[in-house]
Amino acid sequence: MTLFPAMCETVMSESIIGRARKAGKVEIVCTDIRDFAGNKHNKVDDMPYGGGMGMVMAAQPIYDCYRSLYGVDEPKPHLIYMSPKGRTFDQKRARELSELDRIVLLCGHYEGVDERVIEEIVDEELSIGDFVLTGGELPALAVADAVCRMLPGVLSDELCFEEESHFSGLLEYPQYTRPAEWHGKEVPEVLLSGNHAKIDEWRRMQSLMITAERRPDLYSRVTLTKQDIKSFSRSGIPVPDGSQKENT
């Protein structure tokens, strides 16, 4: 639900999500709130009561737009309002949302939307970070992308997302491709060894170290296994501080 459906449609028609839509793996509909303005100028905003800068999106067009998206006998879709006041969106929430049948994303604009329509139909508010944008479209597109790519058949293999940053609570290990040497920098020898057990061990250690260095808040929630501690011990690399240890 947006004032800029063409913008959203363009982004959601490209790359992996665009191919998934064409293959019928996911259905995405970009609905113009202005179509429900109810006036000849398609006006959907007005001045805020109490004064102040900017305009506020009116409740009725948003409500009518939402009600057009499902029938009388259909269950109410889960409605998310993209708002800086919402909880911060993360990979855990993306996983949870991917299990729902239908989601509606409401994109605000101007100075936001009338609080009464939030109270009436919104199920949850989400934010993508502590910064201000001109509208909710970019955050909504980010949420849609993160959720859709976890649906069955959207990616060629579940491992495509299971090994990525944040999915397991860790940041992703470094990646390399050909050539084996570039600008005097060589690919780590273990990745050329063909020993998949050693490669998995190296990748796990790299993820742990990178997470400890760059996101200590995430690392503090990680539980190191006995195998993790053995791997660090064999390599001679100190175990990064701050995580929990598996009970021995």
Output the 3-class SS for 37-104: CCCCCCCCEECCCCCCCCCEECHHHHHHHHHCCCCCCCCCCEEEEEEEEEEECCHHHHHHHCCCCCEE
Cα gap 89→83, rounded to integer Å: 11
Write out residues in the chain with pLDDT < 50, as ranges: 159
> Does some domain include residue 165?
no
Query: H-helix or E-strand containing 10?
Result: helix 5-12
Q: Identify the CATH number of the domain in which residue 210 sits.
A: 1.10.1270
Q: The tokens of 126 are what? A: 């989400």
Same domain, yes or no: 65 and 16: yes
With pLDDT > 70 as the criterion, what percentage of the chain qualifies?
Answer: 95
> Does some domain include residue 115?
yes
Cα gap 170→242, rounded to integer Å: 13
Same domain, yes or no: 15 and 120: yes
What does the pLDDT read at residue 161? 53
Q: What are phi and psi of 125, to 5 degrees?
A: -115, 135
The answer to whether the peptide bond before residue 5 is cis (omega within 30 degrees of 0) is: no
Same domain, yes or no: 31 and 112: yes
Alpha helices per DSSP H over 77-171:
91-97, 115-121, 137-148, 159-162
pLDDT tens-digit series, residues 212-240: 999 999 999 999 999 999 999 999 999 99
Q: Which residues contact 87 (CB under 8 A, 6 or more apart)?
A: 93, 124, 125, 126, 127
What does the pLDDT read at residue 166? 56
Same domain, yes or no: 142 and 187: no
> Does some domain include residue 171?
no
Cα gap 114→32, rounded to integer Å: 17
Q: Alpha carbon of 13 to those of 2, 21, 54, 174, 228: distances in Å?
A: 16, 8, 32, 29, 42
Determine the structural domain holding residue 193 and report its residue range: 181-245
> Does some domain include residue 166?
no
Same domain, yes or no: 21 and 133: yes
Same domain, yes or no: 108 and 186: no
Cα gap 59→198, rounded to integer Å: 58
pLDDT tens-digit series, residues 37-74: 999 999 999 999 999 989 999 999 999 999 999 999 99
Last residue of a domain, one of 91, 126, 148: 148
Count structural domains, the chain: 2
